[in-house]
Amino acid sequence: MPTAAALLAALCLALPGCGATAEAGRDAHVRASGGPEANTGAEDRRDDAVRAAVRRLAAQGGTPGAAALIRRTGEGTRFVASGVADVRTGRRIHRDDRFRAGSLTKTVIAAVTLRLAAQGRLGLGDTVEEHLPGLVRGHGNDGRKITLRQLLNQTSGLFDYTDDPVLARELSAAADRTHTPASLVRTALAHRPSFAPGAEWRYSNTNYVLLGMVVQQVTGRSYATEARRDVLVPLRLDGTSFPGARTTLPAPHGRAYTRGGGASADGARRDVTELNPSSAGAAGELISTLDDLSRLVSGLLRGEVLPRAELRRMRNTSASDGQYGMGLFPVRLSCGVTLWGHNGEITGSSVMAVATSDGRHTLAYRLNGTARSGLPAETSLLEAEFCPRP
Protein backbone atom coordinates (compact mmCIF):
# COMPACT_ATOMS: atom_id res chain seq x y z
CA MET A 1 0.00 0.00 0.00
CA PRO A 2 1.48 3.41 -0.88
CA THR A 3 2.13 5.89 1.87
CA ALA A 4 -0.57 8.39 2.66
CA ALA A 5 1.70 11.12 1.36
CA ALA A 6 1.56 9.48 -2.05
CA LEU A 7 -2.21 9.27 -1.83
CA LEU A 8 -2.68 12.95 -1.01
CA ALA A 9 -1.96 15.75 -3.45
CA ALA A 10 -2.36 17.97 -0.49
CA LEU A 11 -2.96 21.40 -2.01
CA CYS A 12 -0.83 21.95 -5.08
CA LEU A 13 -2.04 25.40 -5.99
CA ALA A 14 0.60 25.79 -8.66
CA LEU A 15 -1.86 23.71 -10.71
CA PRO A 16 -0.04 23.64 -14.08
CA GLY A 17 3.61 22.71 -13.79
CA CYS A 18 3.49 20.84 -10.46
CA GLY A 19 6.66 18.76 -10.18
CA ALA A 20 9.70 19.01 -12.41
CA THR A 21 13.37 18.15 -12.51
CA ALA A 22 16.22 20.40 -11.50
CA GLU A 23 19.73 20.38 -10.14
CA ALA A 24 19.93 19.96 -6.37
CA GLY A 25 22.64 21.19 -4.05
CA ARG A 26 25.28 18.53 -3.58
CA ASP A 27 26.11 19.29 0.01
CA ALA A 28 24.18 18.30 3.12
CA HIS A 29 25.20 19.57 6.52
CA VAL A 30 23.98 18.57 9.97
CA ARG A 31 23.84 20.73 13.07
CA ALA A 32 22.81 19.13 16.34
CA SER A 33 21.81 20.67 19.66
CA GLY A 34 21.02 19.28 23.08
CA GLY A 35 22.33 15.79 22.41
CA PRO A 36 25.48 13.86 23.32
CA GLU A 37 28.76 15.24 21.99
CA ALA A 38 29.68 12.03 20.19
CA ASN A 39 27.49 9.68 18.21
CA THR A 40 27.71 5.95 18.31
CA GLY A 41 28.51 4.10 15.09
CA ALA A 42 24.81 3.33 14.59
CA GLU A 43 23.91 6.99 15.06
CA ASP A 44 26.57 8.00 12.55
CA ARG A 45 25.11 5.60 10.00
CA ARG A 46 21.64 6.97 10.65
CA ASP A 47 22.85 10.54 10.22
CA ASP A 48 24.56 9.59 6.96
CA ALA A 49 21.36 7.98 5.69
CA VAL A 50 19.32 11.04 6.65
CA ARG A 51 21.76 13.39 4.91
CA ALA A 52 21.68 11.29 1.76
CA ALA A 53 17.86 11.20 1.79
CA VAL A 54 17.66 14.99 2.16
CA ARG A 55 19.95 15.40 -0.85
CA ARG A 56 17.79 12.99 -2.86
CA LEU A 57 14.63 14.86 -1.83
CA ALA A 58 15.92 18.03 -3.44
CA ALA A 59 17.06 16.15 -6.54
CA GLN A 60 13.84 14.17 -7.00
CA GLY A 61 11.65 17.16 -6.23
CA GLY A 62 13.52 19.37 -8.68
CA THR A 63 14.11 22.05 -6.05
CA PRO A 64 17.18 24.15 -5.21
CA GLY A 65 17.24 23.01 -1.61
CA ALA A 66 15.79 20.80 1.10
CA ALA A 67 15.96 20.77 4.89
CA ALA A 68 14.78 18.56 7.73
CA LEU A 69 14.49 19.02 11.47
CA ILE A 70 14.44 15.96 13.72
CA ARG A 71 13.60 16.06 17.41
CA ARG A 72 13.66 13.29 20.00
CA THR A 73 12.39 14.18 23.46
CA GLY A 74 15.35 14.22 25.81
CA GLU A 75 17.89 13.86 23.00
CA GLY A 76 17.87 17.31 21.40
CA THR A 77 17.40 18.18 17.74
CA ARG A 78 19.20 17.75 14.44
CA PHE A 79 18.91 20.13 11.51
CA VAL A 80 19.93 18.84 8.08
CA ALA A 81 20.04 21.01 4.97
CA SER A 82 21.14 20.58 1.38
CA GLY A 83 21.39 23.02 -1.49
CA VAL A 84 20.46 26.69 -1.34
CA ALA A 85 17.58 28.90 -0.26
CA ASP A 86 18.27 31.50 -2.95
CA VAL A 87 19.72 30.53 -6.34
CA ARG A 88 20.76 34.13 -7.04
CA THR A 89 22.77 34.79 -3.88
CA GLY A 90 23.66 31.24 -2.85
CA ARG A 91 22.19 31.80 0.63
CA ARG A 92 21.81 28.54 2.59
CA ILE A 93 18.54 27.34 4.12
CA HIS A 94 18.35 28.43 7.77
CA ARG A 95 16.63 26.53 10.53
CA ASP A 96 14.40 29.49 11.44
CA ASP A 97 13.37 30.34 7.87
CA ARG A 98 9.65 31.00 7.30
CA PHE A 99 7.94 29.22 4.41
CA ARG A 100 4.48 28.33 3.16
CA ALA A 101 3.22 25.12 4.80
CA GLY A 102 0.22 24.41 2.55
CA SER A 103 -2.15 21.75 3.82
CA LEU A 104 -0.65 21.54 7.28
CA THR A 105 -3.16 24.35 7.72
CA LYS A 106 -5.78 21.58 7.77
CA THR A 107 -4.23 20.06 10.88
CA VAL A 108 -4.69 23.36 12.70
CA ILE A 109 -8.24 23.91 11.40
CA ALA A 110 -9.24 20.38 12.40
CA ALA A 111 -7.90 20.96 15.92
CA VAL A 112 -9.84 24.23 16.22
CA THR A 113 -13.05 22.56 15.03
CA LEU A 114 -12.63 19.64 17.42
CA ARG A 115 -12.00 22.01 20.34
CA LEU A 116 -15.29 23.72 19.55
CA ALA A 117 -16.95 20.31 19.51
CA ALA A 118 -15.42 19.46 22.90
CA GLN A 119 -16.83 22.73 24.25
CA GLY A 120 -20.30 21.89 22.94
CA ARG A 121 -20.35 24.86 20.57
CA LEU A 122 -20.92 22.65 17.56
CA GLY A 123 -21.53 18.96 16.91
CA LEU A 124 -19.69 16.79 14.42
CA GLY A 125 -23.08 15.48 13.33
CA ASP A 126 -24.29 19.01 12.56
CA THR A 127 -25.01 19.60 8.90
CA VAL A 128 -23.32 22.31 6.89
CA GLU A 129 -26.79 23.78 6.34
CA GLU A 130 -27.24 24.37 10.07
CA HIS A 131 -24.23 26.67 10.19
CA LEU A 132 -24.12 28.03 6.63
CA PRO A 133 -27.75 28.00 5.50
CA GLY A 134 -28.34 27.96 1.76
CA LEU A 135 -24.65 28.03 0.85
CA VAL A 136 -24.09 24.47 -0.38
CA ARG A 137 -26.77 23.92 -3.01
CA GLY A 138 -26.96 23.19 -6.72
CA HIS A 139 -25.61 20.65 -9.24
CA GLY A 140 -26.49 17.82 -6.88
CA ASN A 141 -24.72 19.38 -3.88
CA ASP A 142 -26.80 19.64 -0.72
CA GLY A 143 -25.48 21.02 2.57
CA ARG A 144 -28.48 19.53 4.36
CA LYS A 145 -26.94 16.07 3.81
CA ILE A 146 -23.29 16.87 4.59
CA THR A 147 -22.05 16.82 8.18
CA LEU A 148 -19.09 18.57 9.75
CA ARG A 149 -17.64 15.12 10.43
CA GLN A 150 -17.67 14.44 6.69
CA LEU A 151 -15.88 17.71 6.01
CA LEU A 152 -13.22 16.84 8.57
CA ASN A 153 -12.58 13.30 7.35
CA GLN A 154 -12.90 14.11 3.64
CA THR A 155 -16.01 12.02 2.93
CA SER A 156 -18.36 14.82 1.85
CA GLY A 157 -18.01 14.10 -1.86
CA LEU A 158 -17.64 17.82 -2.65
CA PHE A 159 -15.61 18.70 -5.73
CA ASP A 160 -12.11 20.04 -5.00
CA TYR A 161 -12.13 23.63 -6.21
CA THR A 162 -8.39 23.46 -7.01
CA ASP A 163 -9.26 21.02 -9.84
CA ASP A 164 -11.41 23.58 -11.62
CA PRO A 165 -9.69 24.40 -14.96
CA VAL A 166 -10.91 27.99 -15.09
CA LEU A 167 -9.55 28.71 -11.62
CA ALA A 168 -6.32 26.95 -12.57
CA ARG A 169 -5.76 29.32 -15.46
CA GLU A 170 -6.67 32.30 -13.30
CA LEU A 171 -4.20 31.36 -10.57
CA SER A 172 -1.46 30.75 -13.09
CA ALA A 173 -2.01 34.17 -14.68
CA ALA A 174 -2.54 36.26 -11.53
CA ALA A 175 -0.88 34.97 -8.36
CA ASP A 176 -1.66 38.21 -6.51
CA ARG A 177 -5.45 38.11 -6.89
CA THR A 178 -7.53 37.86 -3.72
CA HIS A 179 -10.17 35.13 -3.44
CA THR A 180 -12.86 34.94 -0.77
CA PRO A 181 -13.85 31.62 0.83
CA ALA A 182 -17.35 32.01 -0.63
CA SER A 183 -15.94 32.40 -4.15
CA LEU A 184 -13.85 29.23 -3.75
CA VAL A 185 -16.90 27.32 -2.55
CA ARG A 186 -18.94 28.62 -5.50
CA THR A 187 -16.25 27.30 -7.84
CA ALA A 188 -16.60 23.85 -6.27
CA LEU A 189 -20.40 23.93 -6.40
CA ALA A 190 -20.35 24.53 -10.15
CA HIS A 191 -19.42 20.84 -10.35
CA ARG A 192 -21.41 17.80 -9.36
CA PRO A 193 -20.20 15.96 -6.24
CA SER A 194 -17.92 12.97 -6.68
CA PHE A 195 -20.24 10.75 -4.61
CA ALA A 196 -23.05 10.91 -2.06
CA PRO A 197 -21.99 12.25 1.35
CA GLY A 198 -20.38 9.51 3.44
CA ALA A 199 -20.33 6.95 0.62
CA GLU A 200 -16.61 7.15 -0.14
CA TRP A 201 -13.42 9.02 0.69
CA ARG A 202 -11.79 11.64 -1.49
CA TYR A 203 -9.49 14.48 -0.54
CA SER A 204 -11.00 17.89 -1.27
CA ASN A 205 -9.71 21.29 -0.21
CA THR A 206 -13.30 22.57 -0.40
CA ASN A 207 -14.07 20.71 2.83
CA TYR A 208 -11.62 22.75 4.89
CA VAL A 209 -12.54 26.08 3.30
CA LEU A 210 -16.07 25.35 4.51
CA LEU A 211 -14.79 24.43 7.99
CA GLY A 212 -13.06 27.81 8.18
CA MET A 213 -16.39 29.47 7.39
CA VAL A 214 -18.16 27.35 10.03
CA VAL A 215 -15.59 28.34 12.69
CA GLN A 216 -16.24 32.00 11.96
CA GLN A 217 -20.01 31.52 12.00
CA VAL A 218 -19.90 29.71 15.36
CA THR A 219 -17.43 31.97 17.15
CA GLY A 220 -17.92 35.33 15.46
CA ARG A 221 -14.15 35.44 14.90
CA SER A 222 -11.99 34.38 11.96
CA TYR A 223 -10.49 30.90 11.88
CA ALA A 224 -7.07 32.58 12.03
CA THR A 225 -7.96 34.33 15.30
CA GLU A 226 -9.33 31.12 16.80
CA ALA A 227 -6.29 29.15 15.67
CA ARG A 228 -3.87 31.63 17.21
CA ARG A 229 -5.70 31.50 20.54
CA ASP A 230 -6.35 27.75 20.71
CA VAL A 231 -3.34 26.22 18.94
CA LEU A 232 -0.52 28.62 18.05
CA VAL A 233 -0.20 30.38 21.41
CA PRO A 234 -0.57 27.26 23.64
CA LEU A 235 2.06 25.40 21.59
CA ARG A 236 4.35 28.45 21.36
CA LEU A 237 4.34 28.46 17.56
CA ASP A 238 5.90 31.91 17.37
CA GLY A 239 7.02 31.57 13.75
CA THR A 240 3.61 30.53 12.45
CA SER A 241 1.06 32.90 10.96
CA PHE A 242 -2.05 33.18 8.80
CA PRO A 243 -1.19 35.75 6.12
CA GLY A 244 -4.67 36.18 4.67
CA ALA A 245 -4.09 38.07 1.41
CA ARG A 246 -0.56 39.26 2.28
CA THR A 247 1.77 38.26 -0.55
CA THR A 248 5.11 38.48 1.27
CA LEU A 249 6.81 36.10 3.70
CA PRO A 250 7.96 37.36 7.11
CA ALA A 251 11.70 37.47 7.77
CA PRO A 252 13.82 35.47 7.81
CA HIS A 253 13.07 33.54 4.63
CA GLY A 254 14.67 32.28 1.48
CA ARG A 255 13.01 32.15 -1.93
CA ALA A 256 10.37 29.82 -3.39
CA TYR A 257 10.51 28.36 -6.89
CA THR A 258 8.55 26.46 -9.48
CA ARG A 259 8.86 25.48 -13.12
CA GLY A 260 6.26 25.76 -15.86
CA GLY A 261 3.17 27.94 -15.72
CA GLY A 262 5.03 30.97 -16.95
CA ALA A 263 8.63 29.78 -16.83
CA SER A 264 10.80 30.41 -19.84
CA ALA A 265 10.78 28.01 -22.76
CA ASP A 266 14.01 26.39 -21.58
CA GLY A 267 12.38 25.35 -18.31
CA ALA A 268 14.21 27.84 -16.11
CA ARG A 269 13.03 28.21 -12.54
CA ARG A 270 10.48 30.88 -11.73
CA ASP A 271 10.63 32.75 -8.41
CA VAL A 272 7.17 32.53 -6.79
CA THR A 273 8.07 33.79 -3.32
CA GLU A 274 5.43 36.50 -3.48
CA LEU A 275 2.03 34.84 -3.60
CA ASN A 276 -1.46 35.74 -2.45
CA PRO A 277 -2.50 32.64 -0.44
CA SER A 278 -6.17 33.61 -0.16
CA SER A 279 -6.82 31.00 -2.85
CA ALA A 280 -5.78 28.41 -0.25
CA GLY A 281 -7.48 29.94 2.78
CA ALA A 282 -8.37 27.55 5.59
CA ALA A 283 -7.20 24.67 3.39
CA GLY A 284 -3.62 25.85 3.02
CA GLU A 285 -2.57 29.46 3.74
CA LEU A 286 -0.33 28.78 6.76
CA ILE A 287 3.23 30.13 7.02
CA SER A 288 5.49 28.32 9.48
CA THR A 289 8.97 27.03 10.38
CA LEU A 290 10.39 23.54 10.78
CA ASP A 291 10.57 23.97 14.56
CA ASP A 292 6.95 25.07 14.75
CA LEU A 293 5.66 22.23 12.58
CA SER A 294 7.54 19.79 14.77
CA ARG A 295 5.95 21.28 17.89
CA LEU A 296 2.53 21.26 16.21
CA VAL A 297 2.39 17.54 15.53
CA SER A 298 4.13 16.67 18.78
CA GLY A 299 1.84 18.87 20.87
CA LEU A 300 -1.29 17.50 19.25
CA LEU A 301 -0.31 13.87 19.73
CA ARG A 302 0.78 14.48 23.32
CA GLY A 303 -2.65 15.85 24.19
CA GLU A 304 -1.60 19.48 24.70
CA VAL A 305 -4.39 20.89 22.50
CA LEU A 306 -7.35 18.49 22.52
CA PRO A 307 -9.06 16.32 25.12
CA ARG A 308 -8.37 12.61 24.73
CA ALA A 309 -11.72 11.84 23.06
CA GLU A 310 -11.21 14.48 20.37
CA LEU A 311 -7.65 13.31 19.73
CA ARG A 312 -8.99 9.80 19.16
CA ARG A 313 -11.43 11.23 16.62
CA MET A 314 -8.61 13.08 14.90
CA ARG A 315 -6.82 9.75 14.41
CA ASN A 316 -9.87 7.69 13.51
CA THR A 317 -9.39 6.53 9.91
CA SER A 318 -12.33 4.12 9.72
CA ALA A 319 -14.24 6.31 7.23
CA SER A 320 -11.33 6.37 4.79
CA ASP A 321 -10.18 2.74 4.88
CA GLY A 322 -7.17 3.75 6.94
CA GLN A 323 -6.02 6.65 4.77
CA TYR A 324 -7.08 9.81 6.62
CA GLY A 325 -8.41 10.89 9.99
CA MET A 326 -9.32 14.52 10.71
CA GLY A 327 -6.43 16.75 9.73
CA LEU A 328 -3.95 13.93 10.38
CA PHE A 329 -3.09 10.83 8.39
CA PRO A 330 -1.00 7.74 9.19
CA VAL A 331 2.27 6.89 7.45
CA ARG A 332 3.10 3.21 7.85
CA LEU A 333 6.76 2.30 7.47
CA SER A 334 8.21 -1.06 6.45
CA CYS A 335 9.65 -1.64 9.94
CA GLY A 336 6.17 -1.58 11.49
CA VAL A 337 6.32 1.99 12.83
CA THR A 338 3.27 4.17 12.19
CA LEU A 339 3.75 7.92 12.10
CA TRP A 340 1.04 10.59 12.22
CA GLY A 341 1.08 13.98 10.57
CA HIS A 342 0.28 15.79 7.36
CA ASN A 343 1.95 17.10 4.23
CA GLY A 344 1.51 20.39 2.43
CA GLU A 345 1.98 21.50 -1.16
CA ILE A 346 1.48 25.02 -2.40
CA THR A 347 3.16 26.96 -5.17
CA GLY A 348 6.88 27.07 -4.40
CA SER A 349 6.83 24.92 -1.27
CA SER A 350 6.50 21.25 -0.36
CA VAL A 351 6.39 20.25 3.31
CA MET A 352 5.73 17.34 5.65
CA ALA A 353 5.62 16.98 9.44
CA VAL A 354 5.16 13.63 11.21
CA ALA A 355 5.63 12.15 14.66
CA THR A 356 5.44 8.84 16.46
CA SER A 357 2.10 8.10 18.11
CA ASP A 358 3.32 9.41 21.48
CA GLY A 359 4.59 12.65 19.92
CA ARG A 360 8.07 12.17 21.36
CA HIS A 361 9.96 11.70 18.07
CA THR A 362 9.26 14.09 15.19
CA LEU A 363 10.54 14.88 11.73
CA ALA A 364 9.62 17.92 9.65
CA TYR A 365 11.04 18.56 6.21
CA ARG A 366 10.62 21.15 3.49
CA LEU A 367 11.56 21.74 -0.13
CA ASN A 368 11.79 25.30 -1.45
CA GLY A 369 9.97 24.45 -4.65
CA THR A 370 6.84 22.89 -6.07
CA ALA A 371 7.29 19.12 -6.04
CA ARG A 372 5.06 16.13 -6.58
CA SER A 373 3.81 14.01 -3.68
CA GLY A 374 5.13 10.61 -2.74
CA LEU A 375 8.79 11.03 -3.70
CA PRO A 376 10.79 7.83 -3.08
CA ALA A 377 13.32 9.88 -1.11
CA GLU A 378 10.55 10.83 1.32
CA THR A 379 10.12 7.19 2.30
CA SER A 380 13.91 6.82 2.47
CA LEU A 381 14.16 9.80 4.80
CA LEU A 382 11.42 8.58 7.14
CA GLU A 383 12.81 5.06 7.27
CA ALA A 384 16.37 6.28 7.78
CA GLU A 385 15.23 8.17 10.89
CA PHE A 386 12.50 5.96 12.32
CA CYS A 387 13.74 2.53 11.16
CA PRO A 388 17.52 2.81 11.72
CA ARG A 389 19.63 -0.18 10.77
CA PRO A 390 21.82 -1.63 13.51
Q: Which residues are catalytic?
A: 103
Q: CA-CA distance, 21 to 262, in Å (whole number)? A: 16
